[in-house]
């Protein structure tokens, strides 16, 4: 299970996202946001090398889901997906990527939808996140995901002759997967007024 190190990050994740997030086509917020970390969860890399985090950040009333991976060295061919670099007080230099372009994250996201892995707490070591809910009605494993494509509210992974995995980037409180979805993941976050909301994070759709 995930190990969370209590140490400094320079710059912080929110500092990296403050400049990166407004450049995304699915970002819905002010040009110079004051971001707040509002929720999220982690997944384990079976090899224990890559950190995987699904972070919910708010910019005013808008909530965005930002999947990130953290690596000890650059990911070859993923220069366009680099969010930034950080210095970790325990692990040293870390390269942070938009996780939708990292094959380790996409494989574990598919495993989460199917129920082959479980969500881990975002900030507590060796602890499951029991607020993350998932369902799966498929009968065969999710195929290898295609390249990610951004829309104005989501990132989609099309599978040739198969379903589409849609990762919500702009979260809508109370949302669920459309009828006929093969699987879904929902999660929670803290809204600016202090209430907690649940929404669809990801869905596997027949297209």
Query: Which tens digit of pLDDT belongs to each residue from 78-108?
Result: 999 999 999 976 677 999 999 999 999 999 9
- Give the whole-angstrom CA distance, residue 43 versus residue 41: 7
* CA atoms of 191 and 7, how far apart (whole Å): 26
Domain positions in the chain are: 9-205
Question: In which residue are the tokens 């082959």 written?
Answer: 116
Q: Which pLDDT tens digit goes with each residue over 117-150? A: 999 999 888 899 999 999 999 888 888 888 999 9
* Cα–Cα distance for residue pair 86/177, rounded to 1 Å: 35
Q: Do the bridges between strand 148-150 and strand 51-59 make them parallel or antiparallel, or are there none, so unpaired?
A: unpaired
Alpha-carbon distances, residue 73 vs 49, 79, 93, 95 (angstroms): 10, 12, 8, 6
What is the Cα gyration radius of the chain? 16
What is the pTM assigned to this prediction? 0.94
In angstroms, the CA 162 to CA 50 distance is: 28
């Amino acid at each position: 299970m995930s190990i969370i190190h209590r140490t400094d990050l320079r710059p912080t994740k929110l500092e990296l996202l403050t400049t990166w997030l407004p450049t995304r086509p699915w970002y819905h917020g002010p040009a110079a946001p004051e971001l707040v970390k509002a929720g999220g969860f982690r997944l384990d890399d079976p090899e224990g090398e890559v950190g995987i985090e699904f972070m919910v950040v708010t910019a005013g009333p808008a909530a965005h889901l930002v999947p990130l991976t953290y690596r000890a060295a650059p990911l070859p061919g993923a220069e366009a997906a680099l969010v930034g670099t950080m210095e970790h007080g325990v692990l040293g230099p870390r390269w942070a990527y938009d996780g939708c372009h990292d094959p380790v994250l996409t494989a574990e996201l598919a495993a989460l939808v199917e129920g082959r892995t479980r969500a881990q707490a975002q900030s507590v070591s060796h602890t499951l996140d029991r607020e993350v809910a998932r369902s799966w009605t498929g009968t065969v494993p999710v195929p290898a995901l295609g390249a990610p494509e951004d829309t104005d509210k989501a990132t989609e992974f099309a599978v040739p002759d198969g379903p589409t995995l849609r990762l919500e980037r702009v979260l809508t409180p109370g949302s669920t997967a459309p009828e006929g979805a093969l699987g879904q993941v929902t999660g929670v976050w803290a809204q600016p007024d202090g209430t907690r909301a649940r929404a669809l994070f990801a869905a596997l759709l027949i297209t």
